[in-house]
Structure 1
Amino acid sequence: MRRMVTVLAAVASLTGCELLGSGGDADSGTATPTPTPTVSESPIAAPSPTGAQHVAEETELYLFEYAWPEAAGKQPELAALLDQRMDHTKEQLVRESTAARASARQDGFPYNKHSYSADWKVVTELPGWLSLSSQVATYSGGAHGMYGVDALLWNKVDKTAMSGIDLFTSPADLEKAVHDRFCDQLNKQREKKRGEPIAADSTDEFDKCPGIDELVVLVGSSNRKVFNRLTFYAGPYVAGPYVEGAYEVDLPVDAAVLATVKPEYQGFFAARN
């Protein structure tokens, strides 16, 4: 169960920009507002002239929403990529919803409408980079829906999509560089939610410090000149039970992190005091 949100985010390839990549930085909450959605059963419309996109479509089978901000729409290749992802995700939702309704009818059960939503926001924008995060929420007829986060780093020069982890020599190197700081901050958040400290010798699954392969990594900036902050997102079941919700840890870039940045990207990073 702890890997469910990681899988959810991968299929899409807390809340919005205020949650992800905020941490009190100057670029907190700077995402460009998306237009008011239009709800219909017609095919998804082309992106709006502003570059922003927000589509909402509801039928008897499903509810589908997908949005991205103006900053993403201004990058034609990125907008095309997001448009492809949107179409692919909707097609998958239609297939799964159709099969689920047929199965429910065959078994004599009511069908609960499936849903999928993804709302991309700007984490930060540098001269050559655009860092985005997306709040993803799904419902497929169970006791409750699931939610998570997807991340995308756009290289404006090469016009390619990357993940934040691609900037580092390896996931293992980055994990080693941030492990102690990340786990310490995570346990402080757990203690606040649970009302008691985490025992150092605990063997409980939800007391362990998750590995970086279970987290979503976002790169952020306080000055919009260089990357100097990392955000680590642990969705439901990753660092605690569903009832605790997601965890999010913001860490400033330090010397240990800088040492793990690939040589070709060193110039885009700086330690934050």
Structure 2
Amino acid sequence: MLVLTACKREADGPPSVTPAEGEAKVETAPAPPAATELKDVIETQESYIVGISYPPGINKYPGLAQAVAAYADGARAELMQAVAGFGNDKPTAPYELSLSFEKLVETPQLVAVAADGSRYTGGAHGEPLVARFVWLPAQSRLLTANALVPKVEGWVEIGSYIREQLHTGVSVRADADEMPPGERQQFVRTADKMIDEGTEPDVDNFREFQPIVDAQGRITALRFVFPPYQVGPYADGTQTVDVPAAVLLPHVAPEYAGLFAAS
């Protein structure tokens, strides 16, 4: 019986140990996510070409690097999906992804990176790729438009300011081109309609922005970036409007007001 009891203990494995009363239970914290090491990409195949460049020092901010990598991976995945659609056939011209990331601002309070490029998968021209990333090192997170201005009333005011600047630009351009009255009226009407639709008070219309900072690193204005087709035709390219801090601050969430220069 003693032998059988010993064998049963071995089969059941070692006895569990319960922490003594009052003894702290030790828990192992999960390991942090592995840092993303970004490196430039150049790949040339018969059916596609990929070129992606990253700014020096971006790997210093792992969370920002992960966000940038996710955008680049998504752009490349859509290219490869289009390439796979050909099967064994070959496109008349190689499909292409060209994407460049540039560091715009780097201060202890924030880091801003711009992504600009295009993806060609057939047709008359490539699809524009435009994105902006604003990283807050102290909080280790991205600053998004909906976090910066949480209420729709804020976007009503900000959108109104942006819309006025864009409408003025259309009128100035029409005058500079010395268009005949009828042609000018049609041009302005069409352009104004695109501007109005692209600047409605929806936070998604203002998600791409980059800070303009002073010598102390405080934000004096935000430059809102609009890709082709949002507020103008493809031929007009990417358009931007600078909104000064004085217009923004009444609508900025209190936790981010300290990033701005006092008006």
Question: TM (normalized to structure 1)?
Answer: 0.67
Could you tell me whether the CA contact under 8 Å between 1:234 and 1:248 is conserved in 2? yes
Unpaired stretches in structure 1, ≥5 consecutive residues:
1-45
- Tell me, in whole angstroms, the C-alpha distance in 2 between the residues paired with 1:158 and 1:234: 27
- Matching residue within 61, 64, 67 for 1:78: 64
Could you tell me whether the CA contact under 8 Å between 1:53 and 1:73 is conserved in 2? no
1:1-273 alignment to 2 at 5 Å? 47=37, 53-99=39-85, 101-102=86-87, 105=89, 110-170=91-151, 172-194=152-174, 195=177, 202=189, 205-206=193-194, 208=196, 210-211=198-199, 213-215=204-206, 216-254=208-246, 256-272=247-263
- Tell me, in whole angstroms, the C-alpha distance in 2 between the residues paired with 1:92 and 1:180: 35
Q: What SS class does the counterpart of residue 46 from structure 2 fall into?
A: coil
Could you tell me whether the CA contact under 8 Å between 1:137 and 1:147 is conserved in 2? yes
Shift of 1:228: 1.8
Q: CA RMSD in A?
A: 2.9
Q: What SS class does the counterpart of residue 163 from structure 2 fall into?
A: helix
Shift of 1:244: 2.3
Q: What SS class does the counterpart of residue 119 from structure 1 fall into?
A: strand
Q: What SS class does the counterpart of residue 144 from structure 1 fall into?
A: coil
Unpaired stretches in structure 2, ≥5 consecutive residues:
1-35
- Tell me, in whole angstroms, the C-alpha distance in 1 between the residues paired with 2:163 and 2:69: 37
Shift of 1:151: 1.1
Change beyond 3 A, Cα 1:271–1:62:
farther
- Tell me, in whole angstroms, the C-alpha distance in 2 between the residues paired with 1:237 and 1:121: 23
Give the counterpart letter for 1:263 in structure 2. Answer: P
- Tell me, in whole angstroms, the C-alpha distance in 1 between the residues paired with 2:205 and 2:67: 25
Shift of 1:140: 0.9
Could you tell me whether the CA contact under 8 Å between 2:105 and 2:113 is conserved in 1? yes
Shift of 1:162: 3.4
- Tell me, in whole angstroms, the C-alpha distance in 2 between the residues paired with 1:259 and 1:218: 19
- Tell me, in whole angstroms, the C-alpha distance in 2 between the residues paired with 1:198 and 1:151: 34
Q: What SS class does the counterpart of residue 228 from structure 2 fall into?
A: coil
- Tell me, in whole angstroms, the C-alpha distance in 2 between the residues paired with 1:85 and 1:238: 20
The answer to which structure, 1 or 2, has the higher relative contact order (CA under 8 A, 6+ apart) is 1
Q: What SS class does the counterpart of residue 259 from structure 1 fall into?
A: helix
Give the counterpart letter for 1:270 in structure 2. Answer: A
Percentage of identical aligned residues: 23
Question: TM (normalized to structure 2)?
Answer: 0.69
- How many residue pairs match? The answer is 215
Give the counterpart letter for 1:238 in structure 2. Answer: Q
- Tell me, in whole angstroms, the C-alpha distance in 2 between the residues paired with 1:54 and 1:220: 27
Shift of 1:198: 7.2
What is residue 36 of structure 1 aligned with on the other side?
none
